[in-house]
Chains A and B, each alone.
Chain A
């Protein structure tokens, strides 16, 4: 399968714990995006990378959130000191590299914070 993959697919954690999600984009896609989707809502933009450079962070991304794409391939999204309000589906998407290129989505990581 050459699509976008995300790991884990589901994560249940207790409030206050740290969690890390991984996204593997389509090979040779230079852009990688993270979105968050709460139940019954549309996804909201969190951040994106052009190769290894993080170009924008949404104000939704508090200082408890950090994202990396160290070698311009896979990306990680870490949430420190999780809160119940962090419960959501975290979606990753990748595109070739231009602003209007189609974004291909992964299956998402569903986070539940107890």
Chain B
């Protein structure tokens, strides 16, 4: 069984600043994918960024980047130049075929 832990229930950041969300996971699998999903208030879940476990290079998507430490089973998300539209719940997820999610981190971007 896989477990995903997000230890930060809430984070607040000033517009244009940087925020980092932490995530750790536990698994005995060797081949898996990791994801960060964004769920805005009352809106559907959308994929922010994905990381293949066999790749050492950290994934980057525009203002979003990850720090993947496979040995430490750590997968943090950095949001640079935060925008008001980034306000949402962010979920870290682990995939072998089904997704296992963390409890989420609520990110609020202040104007």
Q: Which residues of A contact B (CB under 8 A)?
A: 33, 35, 40-45, 48, 56, 91, 93, 99-100, 102-103, 105-108
| A106 x B96 contact (CB < 8 A) | no
Query: Whose C-beta in chain A lies nearest to the C-beta of B98?
Result: A45
21 A–B pairs (Cβ distance < 8 Å), ordered by A: A33-B98, A33-B99, A40-B103, A41-B103, A42-B91, A42-B93, A42-B101, A43-B45, A43-B91, A43-B99, A43-B101, A45-B98, A45-B99, A56-B98, A99-B95, A99-B97, A100-B33, A100-B95, A105-B44, A106-B44, A107-B44
| B99 x A35 contact (CB < 8 A) | yes
For B103, the chain A residues whose CB sits under 8 A away are 40-42
Shortest distance from the beta carbon of B45 to any chain A beta carbon, whole Å: 4
For B43, the chain A residues whose CB sits under 8 A away are 107
For A44, the chain B residues whose CB sits under 8 A away are 101
Shortest distance from the beta carbon of A91 to any chain B beta carbon, whole Å: 7
For B95, the chain A residues whose CB sits under 8 A away are 99-100, 103
For B101, the chain A residues whose CB sits under 8 A away are 42-44
Query: Whose C-beta in chain A lies nearest to the C-beta of B9?
Result: A40
For B91, the chain A residues whose CB sits under 8 A away are 42-43
B 47-81 to A, binary, CB cutoff 8 A, 1 in contact else 0: 10010100000000000000000000000000000
Cα-based distance from A105 to B102 in the complex (angstroms) = 17
Query: Whose C-beta in chain A lies nearest to the C-beta of B37?
Result: A105
Q: Which 7 A-B pairs have the closest CB atoms?
A: A42-B101, A99-B97, A105-B45, A45-B98, A107-B44, A100-B33, A42-B91
